[in-house]
Amino acid sequence: MLRKSLKILRRPLAAALLIGATALPGRSETLADAMVDAYRHAALLDQNRAVLRAADEDVATALAQLRPVVQWIAQHTYTDNDGIDLRSSSIALQAQITLYDWGRNAIAIDIAKESVLATRAALVGVEQDVLLSAVQAYLDVTSAIEQVDLQQNSVRVIGQEQKAATDRFEVGEITQTDVAQADAALAAARASLASAEGSLQVARESYLLATGKMPGKLAPPPPTPKLPANLAAARDIGQRTHPSIEQARRQAAAAELGVAAAAAERNPQLTGTAAITRQRSNNNAMLDTRYGTNKTVSLEMSQTIYSGGRLPSAHRKAMAQRDSARAALLNVARQVNDAVGVAWAQIDVARAQISSIDEQIVAAQKAFEGVSEEATLGARTTLDVLDAEQSLLAARADKITAQANLQLAHYQLLSAMGLLTVENLKLGIPTYDPSAYYNAVQDAPYTSRQGESLDRVLRAIGK
């Protein structure tokens, strides 16, 4: 009679383990919500936006070199000449402008513009990193929740197994050793549950770091993003759109202009100066005070003939930096190809793992049910049942990990192709406009309608 009751009990226990491993409560926060929160919360994005604004100002600085510099100069002189005091005071308004520099300032402006474009590309790269961190944190939490649910069911099921073993021992069907094995399995299940709960708490903290808030009820991950037709197509997209490649291209262009700028330093420079000076002089010996106004206009042309080797050295350095930038571009292109290939392979591996694990789960389920039936007939020991049950549990835990890896690999592939952005994912939120600040400062405003426009831009971005 006891064997019959144990046989009836084992069937619902196996069903409970299966249902507990697959059922998930309803969720509300989606993966898209997590990425939106990360985009809005990331201090790293704020930092790199400020870096971009600083690069924008470099364009204004380079442009300002072509404009006149106006300044006032006040001077007072006292001279004691053998007891005769001579005093003079003057105030002048002076304007100075570079009339022609044979292309030096024009090259500097072009370099600054290339640096702006490189920094914009870097900002897109940071955006990708922020969103990928949010995806990683989201998947870690969801998989950790599933692992906790699985381990909780394992503790419940093995606890019932342990109780059944105790009952069988009391009626003399099994030995004390079988009971001890059940006790050990229950303790191990509780330890695994504690580890899973700890991993969940760690994942929740990582989610807080990535998004700025603790996770609530999370929805199951959405369907994986659509892939390109093949690996070659994915690599082609990466070469065309990845922000790191665009950044390296712009840096290489700036380095090429840097060589031209170093060569242009040898060129002459024509400068014009205009000044008006009001002067007052006093001679106490002659009791004479004189006033005068001077107006001057001058042209000056200069060129460095000998610099002690500084200019040739700067030119050679610029050429070395150009070669370095070109090599960096080639290296980045190769790294992007590698990242795309690795992500593509990880997708294939995860798919193959899931397919194999599904077969493993089916086989382990049948083995568990068969061993359980045989145990009720005395043909199997309690340890055999626990081992079969542990194999089934391990297979289900492996599937949770493989499914999370498959999801993550898809988003890693998007990142490797340069497509993991708010705009491409169509998250439907306002994004930072990298050109707004540039447009406000590109003409180097001082105080004017342009300056008022700049103030509006600063207020809009909260600075």
**Gap between the Cα atoms of 178 and 116, Å rounded:** 72
For the whole model, what pTM was predicted? 0.82
Q: How confident is the model at residue 372 (pLDDT cuts 50, 70, 90)?
A: confident
**pLDDT band (50, 70, 90) for residue 84:** confident
List beta partners, residue 74: 91
| Torsion angle of the four alpha carbons 408, 409, 410, 413, in this order, in degrees rounded to the nearest 10 | 120
Following DSSP, what letter does each residue of 202-265 receive, concatenated?
HHHHHHHHHHSS---SBPPPPPPPPPPSSHHHHHHHHHHH-HHHHHHHHHHHHHHHHHHHHHHT
Q: How many H helices and E strands in the chain?
A: 12, 4
pLDDT single digits (tens) 94-103: 999 999 988 8
Cα 15 from chain centre: 44
- The pLDDT assigned to 320 comes to 97
Question: What does the pLDDT read at residue 143?
Answer: 92
The pLDDT assigned to 234 comes to 95
Would you place residue 252 in the very low, low, confident or very high pLDDT band (cuts 50, 70, 90)? very high
For 292-326, the pLDDT digits (tens) are 888 999 999 999 899 899 999 999 999 999 999 99
Token pair of 454, please?
């700049």
CA distances to 15, 120, 146, 366 from 22, rounded to whole Å, are 11, 44, 8, 17
Mean pLDDT confidence for 53-68: 91
- Mean per-residue pLDDT over the chain, rounded: 85
Asked whether 158 and 389 are in contact (CB, 8 A), the reply is yes
pLDDT reported for residue 27:
46
pLDDT in tens, 193-219: 999 999 999 999 999 999 999 999 999
CA 154 – CA 149 distance, rounded (Å) = 9
Tell me how crowded residue 283 is: count the other CB atoms within 10 A of its CB. Answer: 15
Helix, strand, coil tally for the chain in percent (to 5): 70, 15, 20
Residue 381 has pLDDT above 80, yes or no: no
- pLDDT above 60 (res 19): no
How crowded is residue 221: how many other Cβ atoms within 10 Å of its Cβ? 21
Reduced to 3 states (helix: H, G, I; strand: E, B; else coil), residue 308 is coil
Please report, for residues 64, 74, 90, 92, the alpha-carbon distance to residue 274 in angstroms, rounded to integers and kept in the order given: 18, 16, 16, 10
Q: Does 191 have pLDDT greater than 70?
A: yes
Contact between residue 361 and residue 423 where contact means Cβ atoms under 8 Å apart: no
- Which residues lie across from 80 on neighbouring strands? 85
Least Cα distance to 115 among 38, 47, 51 occurs for: 51
Res 246: pLDDT: 95
Which tens digit of pLDDT belongs to each residue from 27-39? 479 999 999 999 9
